[in-house]
Amino acid sequence: MSDDPTPADDTRADGEDARVRYDQARYVEDGQYEPLLSEKDLTRVEVGEESPLPDDLTREDLELPELSEPELARHYTRLSQMTYGIDSGPYPLGSCTMKYNPKFTEDVAALPTAAVHPDRSPGTIQGTLELLYRLQDYLGRIGGMDAVTLQPPAGAAGEFVGIRVAAAYHEHNGEAHRDEVIIPESAHGTNFATAALGGYDVVSLPSDEDGRVDLEALEAALSENTAALMLTNPNTLGLFERDIEEIAELVHDVGGLLYYDGANLNALLGRARPGDMGFDVMHYNVHKTFATPHGGGGPGAGPVGVVEELAPFLPAPRVREVGGSDDADGERGEPTYELFDPDHTIGKVHGYQGNWLVLVKTFAYIARLGDVGLADASAMAVLNANYLASQIDYEIPYGPFHHEFVASAGEQDAAEVAKRMLDYGVHPPTTKWPEIVPEALMTEPTEVESKATLDRLAAAFDAVATEDADTLEAAPGRTTARRIDQTSAARNPRLSWQALEDD
């Protein structure tokens, strides 16, 4: 494109060509990227005249694009080409666990037998219920938990179940006065938002100088008002909370519950289980740990596991097995499955039973890998993180870490580093979080990247590390769009094509 600005220089300061780049497909026509559907066509249909309903119950008209299937096929193909996914290249977003998603799981989720209405009677959807039951069982074993609900449609929804279960449990025990949830400063933002949504006061817990829970601060924070401590282990610095036994004891001593945020479970499969560490309730981010595609921001699923004491409070309904009846020869028949409401259930957190198709993919992934594959996934995720860390120049202030590490961009602005990394054809890490590391570059390569890819990533890190502020500020130069002005988007919000017409 003649009007394209010259791409930024791609040579390193030492003169060596980094050679880690690729250009994304992009479309520019009349100075604009792929036009909106509304710019291709808008057709107004008079509704009142067409409708079998009386005029006073209908809208006057409806105005939307009316395009042919081939036009739409091209539109969405171009939009896909202007989108970077894990199938496009490495995606080392710390805490997000962007790993490769096997394709066969899409096929099993698309089986016609998986497409059932949620109000079908249990007797007619024994397959669906069996799969849910078996997944509950798998997740219970993996987490060391006694009972599992699959209803929460995302990790944060799982956290909400954890908080509501904790509240119901305390209330049941006559301890409704517990109104505080303790959360380490380095925790995911969802923890804080979830505790607040549950009506709790958040008590923020500082980290010690090693980046882990400060036991003295924890003791000071705990009281008879403590409902729960929410903890990620390994934490968001990738560090294992080695004092977990003592932490659990302290929390339990004051009558609080220990909540496990499963975002980082990919580091522990087959090597440690939240239930064995003293956690009472946990959520699993099945879209992270068990590789179901993130779909541009969802859907995911956030099943919740609990110890036996908390099982009666789980959302309704759950699935259970009813032993197969004996036939005439005394042989056990196929087991059947039924839905039931736990005795003291908190009710529902989703209109139906959560994100079923994601659960099908999760089941298939776990069934494919089994014990050996799951344990190996964690081993390679941890090896990859440690290897990548050993190959980059940026300082990594805390360790030893597991599946992710947080480097510091030092004098550079981490957000600018990220923009420049795009020019090297790789997705950048999570930036500026957790805040305890200045200019944080939170990096999680996952187990699916090869040594060669990690070497490419390291080359990109190191190339950017040597670049000056002007170069970073000019980036990115080879992406679909150049640097986007996020401030003006917020200052002058235009959130629909209708709003653009008003400009």
Partner 1 sequence: MQGTQSTGSPFAPHTAAQRDAMLEAVGVETVEDLFDIPEPVRFDDEFGIDARTERETRRLVRSILERNDDLTELLGRGHYGYYVPSLVDHLADRSEFLTSYTQYQPEVSQGFLQALFEYQSLLVELTGLEVANCSMYDAATALGEAATLADRVRSVDGHRVLVPDLLRDGRSSTLENYVAGTDLVVEAYPSDDGTVDWEALAELVDDETVMIYAENPTVRGTIEERLPDIGDLAADVGALFVLGSDPVALSVLERPADVGADVVVGDASVLGLGTSYGMGLGLFATREEHLRQVPGRLVGVSEDATDRRAYTLTLQTREQHIRRERATSNICTNQAWVALRTAMHAAMLGPSGLVELANRGVTRATDLAGRLDDLPGVTAPVHDRHHLREFVARLERPAGAVARDLEASGFAVHVVGDHEIQVCTAGTTDDELDAFVASLEEVGR
Q: With respect to partner 1, which residue has the nearer C-beta, 349 or 463? A: 349
- Choice between 19 and 242, CB closer to partner 1: 242
Q: Are 338 and 148 in contact, with CB atoms under 8 Å apart?
A: no
The stretch among 214-222, 323-331, 463-471, 492-500 that binds partner 1 (CB under 8 A) is 492-500
353 to each of 318, 448, 502, how far by Cα in Å? 9, 31, 42
Q: What does the alpha-carbon distance between residue 436 and residue 432 come to, in Å, rounded to a whole number?
A: 9
With beta carbons less than 8 A apart as the criterion, state whether 322 and 335 touch.
Answer: yes
| Distance, CA of 433 to chain centre | 16
Cβ nearer to partner 1, comparing 215 with 484: 484
Closest separation between CB of residue 302 and partner 1, Å? 8
The reply to whether 480 sits near partner 1 by the rule CB under 8 A is yes
Helix 451-465 / helix 414-423 crossing angle, nearest 10 deg: 120
Among positions 448-467, residues that touch partner 1 (CB under 8 A) are 448-451
Is residue 312 a contact point for partner 1 (CB under 8 A)?
no
Binding mask 152-171 for partner 1 (x = CB under 8 A): -xxxxx-xx---x--x----
Q: In angstroms, what is the minimal distance from the CB of 441 to partner 1?
A: 13
Candidates 12-20, 224-232, 323-331, 343-351: pick the segment binding partner 1 (CB under 8 A): 343-351
- Among 11, 16, 17, 51, the residue binding partner 1 under the rule CB under 8 A is 51
Nearer to partner 1, 330 or 503 (CB): 503
> What is the separation of C-alpha 387 from the centre of its chain, rounded to a whole number of angstroms?
24
- Distant-in-sequence, close-in-space partners of 376: CB < 8 Å, separation ≥ 6: 369, 447
Of 219-227, 250-258, 423-431, 459-467: span binding partner 1 (CB under 8 A) = 423-431
Least gap, CB of 26 to partner 1 (angstroms): 8
Does 34 bind partner 1 (CB under 8 A)? Our answer is yes
| Listed ranges 254-262, 303-311, 321-329, 474-482: which one lies at the site for partner 1 (CB under 8 A) | 474-482
In this chain, which of 13, 322, 469, 484 binds partner 1, going by CB under 8 A?
484
At 157, is the secondary structure helix, strand, or coil? Answer: helix
Convert residues 88-107 into a mask of x (bound to partner 1 by CB under 8 A) and - (unbound): x--x-x--x-xxxxx-x-xx
The reply to whether 422 sits near partner 1 by the rule CB under 8 A is yes
In angstroms, what is the minimal distance from the CB of 407 to partner 1? 15
According to the binding rule CB under 8 A, does residue 383 interact with partner 1? yes
By the rule CB under 8 A, 6 interacts with partner 1: no
* Residues between 277 and 296 with contacts to partner 1, criterion CB under 8 A: 277, 285, 287, 291, 293-296
Give 256 or 405: the residue with its C-beta nearer to partner 1: 405
Q: Pick from 186, 353, 443, 471: which binds partner 1 (CB under 8 A)?
A: 353
- In the complex with partner 1, the residue whose CB is nearer, 15 or 422, is 422
Instruction: Report the relative pairing of strands 304-306 and 318-322 from DSSP bridges.
Output: unpaired
Among 324, 333, 400, 438, binds partner 1 (CB under 8 A): 400
Q: Is 21 in the site for partner 1 (CB under 8 A)?
A: no
Strand 318-322 to strand 430-431: parallel, antiparallel, or no bridges (unpaired)? unpaired
Q: How far apart are CA 149 and CA 306, in angstroms?
A: 9
Q: Considering the complex, what minimum distance in angstroms separates the CB of residue 254 from partner 1?
A: 21
65, 255, 312, 397: which one contacts partner 1 (CB under 8 A)? 65
Site for partner 1 in 167-206 (CB under 8 A): 167, 188-190, 192-200, 202
Pairing relation of β-strands 226-232 and 180-184?
parallel
CB 337 within 8 A of CB 126: yes
Nearer to partner 1, 145 or 330 (CB): 145
Total residue count of the chain as it appears in this document: 503
Q: Is 339 in the site for partner 1 (CB under 8 A)?
A: no
The three-state secondary structure class of 182 is strand
CB-nearer residue toward partner 1: 197 or 254: 197
State the burial class of residue 301 (Cβ atoms within 10 Å of its Cβ: 0-12, 13-18, 19+).
buried
- 359 φ/ψ angles, rounded to the nearest 5 degrees: -70, -35
Instruction: Give dist(CA 125, CA 302) in Å, integer.
Output: 22
> Among 142, 222, 230, 464, which residue sits at the site for partner 1 (rule: CB under 8 A)?
142
Q: Report the 10 Å Cβ neighbour count for 339.
A: 15
Question: Cβ distance 309 to 279 under 8 Å?
Answer: no
User: What phi and psi, each to the nearest 5 degrees, are found at residue 35?
Assistant: -65, 155
Chain centroid to CA 251: how far? 27
Partners of 326 in beta bridges: 332
User: Closest separation between CB of residue 66 and partner 1, Å?
Assistant: 4
Q: Using the rule CB under 8 A, which residue among 13, 16, 19, 43 binds partner 1?
A: 43
* Ramachandran region, residue 26 (left: φ > 0; alpha: ψ -120 to 50; beta: rest): beta
Q: How many CA atoms lie within 13 A of 109 on its CB side?
A: 18
Footprint of partner 1 on 213-272 (CB under 8 A) = 239-240, 242, 244-245, 268, 270-272
With CA atoms as reference, report the closest residue to 252 among 166, 139, 373, 354.
Answer: 166
Counting residues that bind partner 1 (by CB under 8 A) gives 204
